[in-house]
Structure 1
């Protein structure tokens, strides 16, 4: 595990890229502000808030293990969000 700054940057970049992909999908399908897209964006923002809160929690006993778990949770949540986005793309095809 690198450092806290890198983890925060990863969280921001990964979830930001997912939100950007939703906007691109909306523009390419001609469905701006779609209900489905908004749900994915809301999940991404909620995930961001939760993960940043966990990263900033300094009361944990084993900080290194805690940050590894946060990183794993980021991967899991991002994968789920990408799957939701892919389902939108398939349903529009």
Structure 2
């Protein structure tokens, strides 16, 4: 189960770092910055719920898909941050 713990940590740290980047770049006061942080927090909740879901047929494949979704979303959030 260490991989599940590591996945949760990765989600927490990476999305937290992106939120920190929004705050420390001074873009939090803009409407786009607030919207981006809200979107990141919503996605965080969604990803953690997916990790905690134990009622899936193939848990290993499910968690691999969650990791891929997380990596794609993190890349999208970084792109959005760069365009602010």
- Band the TM-score falls in, shorter-chain normalisation: over 0.9
Q: CA–CA distance in 2 between the matches of 1:72 and 1:32?
A: 28
TM-score by length of 1: 0.85
For the 8 Å contact 2:51–2:66, the answer to whether it is kept is yes
Q: Give the RMSD, CA atoms, in angstroms.
A: 1.1
Post-superposition shift, 1:32?
Answer: 4.7
> How many aligned residue pairs are there?
83
- C-alpha change, 1:32 and 1:16, in structure 2 (3 Å) is closer
Q: Unaligned stretches of 5+ in structure 1?
A: 89-93
**Corresponding residue of 2:15:** 15
Post-superposition shift, 1:33?
Answer: 2.3
Task: Find the structure with the greater CA-based Rg.
Answer: 1
Q: CA–CA distance in 1 between the matches of 2:29 and 2:50?
A: 30
Alignment of 1:58-73 (within 5 A): 58-73=54-69
**Corresponding residue of 2:43:** 47
TM-score by length of 2: 0.93
Q: Are 1:80 and 2:54 matched, yes or no?
A: no
